[in-house]
A and B are shown apart, each in its own frame.
Chain A
Amino acid sequence: DAKTTQPPSMDCAEGRAANLPCNHSTISGNEYVYWYRQIHSQGPQYIIHGLKNNETNEMASLIITEDRKSSTLILPHATLRDTAVYYCIVRVAGGNQGGKLIFGQGTELSVKP
């Protein structure tokens, strides 16, 4: 499985954009980059995913570098409710176990007033 590297923690001011980086230098060509977040004592919440093009939805934007070795999750206007641990995951593709999500340590984002 490709592994990801994320900073352990980040702070962001409320109302500002939060940019969360992720390195996945060993990603394979058919593996997607997924982002989830986990608010304390809850199950993870899906945010966004992409293969090689930039993606945007109502929650966030995902910027993937051209070589696909890194990506950035952007929360355009962070709120206090965005305080959570954010996980960048490269999804294993194929087979009966295809798509299992292996979680790394994630980035603990603290949004401050």
Chain B
Amino acid sequence: GAVVSQHPSRVICKSGTSVKIECRSLDFQATTMFWYRQFPKQSLMLMATSNEGSKATYEQGVEKDKFLINHASLTLSTLTVTSAHPEDSSFYICSARVVQGEAFFGQGTRLTVV
């Protein structure tokens, strides 16, 4: 299957700082990328959907000013967690797909806010 790379795989940051997570589709052009969050022992929760060159669409209850998503090219999307707090500590996962194709997932980013 296609490869989606996420970076970094783990990050620890201080409370109040911002963290950027990158998601790249390595061998295909992704028209749509998705960002998920997963807390321990829970399922993946969709945060937002982004299409290249347009603003992301956020799911209900997700703060768009806190979780900034940029999808500047067909192979790169970024998620910035602004002013991170301990409750933002989670496993963040991106997904990329082409139109009408299956979605492929990155390996995830473990964010710990101390």
Contact = CB atoms under 8 A, between A and B. Distances in A.
Contacts, number: 61
Contact of A46 (B45, B91, B102): B102
Contacts of B43: 87, 103-106
A97 B57 contact: yes
Interface string A92-113: 0000111111111110000000
Interface residues of B, number: 28
A53 interface: no
A21 to B, nearest CB: 18
Nearest to B44: A103
A54 interface: no
Nearest to B6: A43
Residue among B44, B95, B108 facing the most chain A CB atoms (10 A cut-off): B44
Contact of B106 (A41, A43, A97, A101): A43
Chain A interface main SS type: loop
A44 B32 contact: no
A36 B102 CA distance: 10
A45 B44 CA distance: 13
Nearest to A48: B102
Interface in B60-114: 91, 93, 95, 97, 99-100, 102-108, 110
B108 to A, nearest CB: 5
Contacts of B45: 103
B91 A41 contact: yes
Contacts of B6: 43
Interface string A30-48: 0000101010011111100
Q: Which 5 A-B pairs have the closest CB atoms?
A: A43-B105, A103-B44, A103-B43, A44-B105, A43-B108
Interface of A: 34, 36, 38, 41-46, 49, 87, 96-106
Given A43-B108, A46-B105, A100-B49, 4 more contacts: A36-B105, A38-B44, A41-B91, A101-B46
